[in-house]
Copies of this chain bind each other. A is one copy, B any other.
Amino acid sequence: MIQKEKKLLMHVGPVNILDRVLYAGLKNNVGFTSQEFVEAFQFSLKKTRELFQADNTYQPFLIPGGGTSAMESVTSLLKEGEKVLVVTNGVFGDRWINIFRKYPVKVNVLSAEPGYYVEPETVEKEVKKDKYTLVTFTHVETSTGVRQPIKDSVKAVRDYVDLVVVDGVSSVGAEEVKAKDWRVDVYLTASQKALGVPPGLGILVLSERAMERLKDEKSIAGYYLDLRNWLPVMNSMENGKASYFSTPPVHTILMLSEALKIIIDEEGLESRIKRHEKVASAIRAGIEGMGLEIVAKKPEAYSNTVTGVVVKKVNAGNVLSEIVSEGVELAPGVHPKLQGKYFRIGHMGWVTENDAIVTIASIERVLNKLGEEIRLGEGIKATQLYLAK
């Protein structure tokens, strides 16, 4: 019972939240015009640029919702009849299709089998063939843990399309992200992933080229997710003055501000990415050490944030429910083509080497108990030897 209460949340978001971040939201008298809130908003906007490695030519946005609302807000940049190309490696890549199909734009799709990504050359070929206003990529596909080689992918299309959009929901704060250097027009994420904040916020940066499109009053966007409505609030807040369009999640922004302070000013982005890489590698060492297979089909596709684990004999759902008693919560597999055959380990946010140790040890014991053929004790030993290097 105590172990369950102290549960380690190795999930894909929300993840375990650092106490300091959580306590930053513990305010019973902060309103949307309160000085404390305005300062947290201002600070968050400035640090968001650093987070995406953008500069002052980029405009940051904090909008309510999360990854999906941030994705849909990209409609603010499109006009009726324009053509978009969706490059998808799984469920969240497909989400772009579902969004765009609700709007009067033309959608074309390039997709990969689960475990794989669409090769940059394939995308390059497509954008040379046809004129696209906008291309979307998914940096890390949360449903499988597959990482797109994003730098090369963006490079391959950059000169052939107006707008390049990257969904960095499972990458920003844990993988190398360089909005400016790579000339990405819209890079977006959500508060509850590698930033380790409760859910409630979509976070984006827009290039000058993207911002130019906001000047035109016309777009296919609705009201709440039209970035034009939020822009005056961002400008005012960045200048330290309260402003209102629709009430933002005040407490989540207080927490985001604390998280960004730790991420950028204390831990440092580079160290943070290295930490994620080390923990991810230690976990994969353990998975392979005990004799299991990873969903992502080659090391270049491994991500720092999500690892899909394939089970052969046991049902993935049983693993998930059983491991909660061991004080660990994992995420279900959601790719329709791999139904019941895998589970996901989320390893992002404030994840540590000790979390890797606990996760692998628990997975080992549970799989052993359920009858999966694994090498009990060898997974945890492999993780330990990796960490001792």
Q: Are A354 and B365 in contact (CB under 8 A)?
A: no
Q: Are A16 and B34 in contact (CB under 8 A)?
A: no
Of B27, B329, B381, the residue contacting A31 (CB under 8 A) is B329
User: Chain B residues with Cβ under 8 A from A67's Cβ?
Assistant: 246-247
User: Chain B residues with Cβ under 8 A from A102's Cβ?
Assistant: 221-223, 226
Annotate A280-291 by CB proximity to B: 1 below 8 A, 0 otherwise. Answer: 000000000000
User: Chain B residues with Cβ under 8 A from A221's Cβ?
Assistant: 102
Q: Are A9 and B34 in contact (CB under 8 A)?
A: yes
Q: Are A246 and B380 in contact (CB under 8 A)?
A: no
- Of A18-26, A45-53, A118-126, which binds chain B? A18-26
Q: Are B332 and A33 in contact (CB under 8 A)?
A: yes
Residues of A within 8 A of B (CB): 1-3, 5-9, 11, 13-20, 22-23, 25-35, 64-69, 72, 75, 98-99, 102-103, 190, 192, 198-200, 221-226, 244, 246-252, 266-267, 271, 275, 320, 324, 326-329, 331-332, 334, 350, 352-354, 357-358, 361-362, 364-365, 368-369, 376-378, 380-381, 384-385, 387-388
User: Chain B residues with Cβ under 8 A from A15's Cβ?
Assistant: 31
Q: Are A352 and B327 in contact (CB under 8 A)?
A: yes
Q: Are A223 and B68 in contact (CB under 8 A)?
A: yes
Residue of B nearest to A275 (CB): B2
User: Chain B residues with Cβ under 8 A from A329's Cβ?
Assistant: 29, 31, 33-34
Q: Are B26 and A14 in contact (CB under 8 A)?
A: no
Q: A252-B249, A327-B352 are in contact. Are A66 and B65 (CB under 8 A)?
A: no
* Sample (20) of A-B pairs whose CB atoms are under 8 Å apart: A2-B352, A3-B354, A6-B18, A11-B33, A14-B247, A29-B329, A33-B332, A64-B65, A65-B246, A68-B246, A69-B224, A198-B249, A249-B252, A251-B252, A326-B353, A354-B362, A361-B380, A377-B384, A377-B388, A380-B380
Q: A353-B3, A354-B326 are in contact. Are A22 and B33 (CB under 8 A)?
A: no
Q: Are B72 and A6 in contact (CB under 8 A)?
A: no
Q: How far is the CA of A326 from the CA of B34 in the complex (A)?
A: 14
A175 nearest CB across to chain B (Å): 17
Q: How far is the CA of A380 from the CA of B364 in the complex (A)?
A: 13
- Smallest CB-CB A-B distances: 3 pairs: A68-B246, A200-B249, A11-B31
Q: Are A222 and B190 in contact (CB under 8 A)?
A: no
Q: How far is the CA of A251 from the CA of B135 in the complex (A)?
A: 34
Q: A64-B200, A66-B64 are in contact. Are A28 and B22 (CB under 8 A)?
A: yes
Residue of B nearest to A91 (CB): B244
Q: Are A9 and B22 in contact (CB under 8 A)?
A: no
A239 nearest CB across to chain B (Å): 17
Q: How far is the CA of A8 from the CA of B8 in the complex (A)?
A: 13
User: Chain B residues with Cβ under 8 A from A29's Cβ?
Assistant: 6-9, 16-17, 329
